[in-house]
A and B are shown apart, each in its own frame.
Chain A
Amino acid sequence: NAGVTQTPKFQVLKTGQSMTLQCAQDMNHEYMSWYRQDPGMGLRLIHYSVGAGITDQGEVPNGYNVSRSTTEDFPLRLLSAAPSQTSVYFCASRHDYTEAFFGQGTRLTVV
């Protein structure tokens, strides 16, 4: 039972590089989301999706793109990485009125 799988676990990028953080869930949850965790800031919502083909912005969407072509996958794209995007990123999935399940996180450093 995999739950929510995030890859990679660690990544170092140079400023201006692009990359995609992968997220996959096997629980058939309609709702998926991306958060970033920074010291003293808690978990801040970047983007979320309520189903395949439907995405919306969270609190801190700038610099990030998402798409949801299938129920299972919800990749997060950084088009041009900046040092301010150094953070730990978490993907989560959820069903109606239940808890959200989180992946193990991706620690991203932008130099």
Chain B
Amino acid sequence: DQQVKQNSPSLSVQEGRISILNCDYTNSMFDYFLWYKKYPAEGPTFLISISSIKDKNEDGRFTVFLNKSAKHLSLHIVPSQPGDSAVYFCAASKGGAQKLVFGQGTRLTINP
């Protein structure tokens, strides 16, 4: 049972435009959500997070939106840059330091 789903395996965006990555979850008990970025041959690195008490969190070019009623979150990257080309994973957890459940990942390619 895939509790966190990223339905787009890949996304291609032109440099300077907005990249929107989507993630859906099924467990309404999840209360903390994170996005990770992964380059080949490296471990995932944290990008941005959001608590279920918020519906938006911004950090520079990155914004995460949370729609609890739809059990959906999205990551917006504006403007997209070539260095943003990577695999992006969303993750969710319920309660404190409990286990993180990851989606399948979306490979983002930024074209010049």
Contact = CB atoms under 8 A, between A and B. Distances in A.
Interface hub of B44, B51, B89, B105 (most chain A Cβ within 10 A): B44
B83 interface: no
A40 B104 contact: yes
Interface stretch (B13-21, B69-77, B95-103): B95-103
Interface residues of B, number: 25
B43 A105 contact: yes
B54 to A, nearest CB: 13
Contact of A96 (B45, B97, B99, B104): B97
Interface string B1-41: 00000100100000000000000000000001010100001
A90 B44 contact: yes
A43 B44 contact: yes
B51 A97 contact: yes
A40 B9 contact: yes
A104 interface: yes
Given A33-B99, A43-B89, A48-B99, A101 B42 contact: no
Interface hub of B43, B49, B103 (most chain A Cβ within 10 A): B43
Contacts of B49: 99
A24 B112 CA distance: 40
A95 B97 contact: yes
Contacts of B46: 99-101
13 contacts: A29-B97, A35-B102, A40-B9, A42-B103, A43-B89, A90-B43, A90-B44, A94-B97, A94-B100, A95-B97, A99-B49, A102-B44, A102-B45
Interface of B: 6, 9, 32, 34, 36, 41-46, 49, 51, 89, 91, 96-105
Interface of A: 4, 29-31, 33, 35, 40-45, 48, 50, 58, 90, 92, 94-97, 99-105
